[in-house]
């Protein structure tokens, strides 16, 4: 299970950005006569004459409509893998100055609001204690645990307040309460933001290279890409990271951490252990079944929220989005591959974490300013910003995007500086055969 993966990360000096876009002439499928029209994959490769590129040649094209959709970005003259015609400074200049201001009182107010809701839900569920209320409680409380995580996430970025001690105290209280090692996670999440969109260096739902993918046995591949298993990955990732990487978020000597971060990691591990011990103690006082109902099941609901949201912020768009290596990667280009998502009524509950593009580029902006900052930046971002599909009150539409991505986004080539996800037809075929086998039994 440790082969599943997930994570997060935040802030360091920004890498050098490309000062200006390089000119490339896109080739349109429609520009060729039908008699000599090449395949989309060949055209796609010719879009990058000066760059080593791996195109998604393994994608299984089912029909013409899907084929057109796959390459509509190129037909419109827009290449999502090309360097943008703007800089990070251009985006920053478009965002109003007050969006950068952190209000610690407002941030603390959100903490009190969420904590009050968490205890209120638990009290109501324990009072009624029937199988009509419990399922509703599990869904609601799992969502509130996820909201607590997002506020702790802001502490890790320093967008909660300018006071590092306040950030650390609140971050430990919030994250330890949902069994997340605050500093261990904060540091790995920083790595994620610093290297977003980089095939090898990213730390959150980054793609497997073809070499690593083929080294996995079929059972592991099936678990990694068969729902709901990938949506239960986070606790296992904390202990063992993802394939091709090693280390634990709990161990101070892990590859994730620098020597001067050792004390921070030990502190977070001690706090995590204290929470685990508290849950064990409550099991003796209240009974293990009651602790399971009040805490255990909502915890796994929180894990599913975390895995769903973090995955879909980097996967599942209708157009293929690039991943980078080497000189083609930059902080800006990597950040522009992230996606905003609309969660309907959940937007306010989980503190607008769905406004993810601006958050990735400028994680110092408080969550309550992200929507305004995004609206201000859209004219600069142009087609590099992908408007999220509007949600119903509850974001059930995202489940379809998740399932679709799991079926086709399996690995990227070992070669190329601009690469795209490819599909393993054996995995898809194996899954279908397995389903047919189950239906016969």
- What is the reported pLDDT for 74? 47
Q: What pTM was estimated for this model as a whole?
A: 0.81
Three-state secondary-structure class, residue 215: helix
Residue numbers of the chain with a pLDDT score lower than 50:
1-75, 434-441
Structure tokens at 380: 């600069």
- Residue spans per domain, the chain: 103-318+343-349
Structure tokens at 83: 């360097």
Residues 7 and 204 sit within 8 Å (Cβ to Cβ): yes
- What is the reported pLDDT for 375? 98
Chain segment 323-377, per-residue pLDDT in tens: 999 999 999 999 999 999 999 999 999 999 999 999 999 999 999 999 999 999 9
Three-state secondary-structure class, residue 53: strand
Scored b (16 or more CB within 10 A) or e, 208-222 reads bbbebbeebeeebbe
**What is the C-alpha to C-alpha distance for residues 252 and 256, in angstroms, rounded to an integer?**
9
């Amino acid at each position: 299970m440790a082969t599943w993966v997930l994570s997060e990360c935040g802030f360091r000096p920004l890498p050098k950005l490309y000062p200006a876009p390089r000119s490339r002439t896109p080739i349109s499928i429609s520009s060729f006569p039908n008699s000599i029209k090449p395949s989309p994959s060949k055209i796609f490769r010719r879009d990058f004459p000066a760059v080593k590129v791996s195109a998604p040649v393994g994608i299984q094209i089912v029909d013409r409509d899907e084929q057109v959709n796959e390459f509509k970005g190129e037909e419109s003259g827009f290449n999502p893998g090309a360097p943008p015609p703007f800089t990070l400074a251009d985006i920053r200049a478009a965002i109003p100055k007050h969006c950068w201001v952190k209000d610690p009182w407002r941030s603390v107010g959100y903490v009190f609001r969420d904590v009050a809701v968490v205890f209120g839900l638990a009290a109501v569920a324990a009072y009624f204690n029937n199988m009509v209320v419990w399922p509703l409680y599990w869904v609601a409380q799992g969502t509130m645990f996820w909201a607590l995580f997002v506020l702790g996430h802001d502490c890790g970025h320093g967008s909660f307040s300018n006071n590092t001690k306040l950030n650390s105290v609140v971050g430990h209280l919030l994250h330890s309460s949902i069994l997340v090692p605050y500093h261990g996670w904060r540091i790995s999440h920083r790595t994620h933001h610093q290297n977003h969109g980089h095939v090898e260096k990213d730390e959150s739902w980054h793609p497997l290279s073809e070499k690593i993918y083929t080294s996995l046995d079929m059972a592991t591949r099936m678990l990694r890409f068969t729902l709901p298993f990938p949506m239960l990955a986070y606790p296992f990732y904390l202990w063992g990271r993802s394939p091709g990487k090693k280390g634990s978020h709990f161990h101070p000597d892990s590859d994730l951490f620098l020597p001067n971060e050792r004390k921070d990691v030990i502190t977070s591990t001690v706090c995590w252990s204290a929470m685990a011990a508290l849950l064990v103690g409550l099991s003796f006082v209240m009974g293990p079944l009651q602790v399971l109902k009040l805490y255990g099941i909502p915890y796994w609901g929180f894990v599913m929220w975390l895995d769903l949201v973090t995955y879909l912020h980097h996967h599942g768009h209708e157009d293929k989005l690039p991943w980078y290596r080497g000189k083609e990667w930059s902080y800006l280009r990597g950040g522009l591959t992230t996606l905003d998502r609309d969660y309907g009524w959940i937007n306010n509950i989980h503190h607008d974490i769905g406004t993810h593009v601006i958050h990735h580029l400028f994680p110092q902006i408080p969550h309550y300013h992200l929507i305004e900052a995004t609206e201000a930046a859209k004219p600069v971002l142009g087609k590099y910003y992908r408007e999220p599909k509007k949600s119903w009150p509850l974001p059930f539409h995202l489940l379809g995007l998740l399932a679709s991505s799991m079926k086709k986004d399996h690995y990227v080539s070992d070669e190329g500086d601009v690469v795209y996800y490819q599909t393993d037809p054996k995995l898809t075929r194996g899954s279908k055969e397995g389903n047919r086998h189950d239906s016969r039994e």
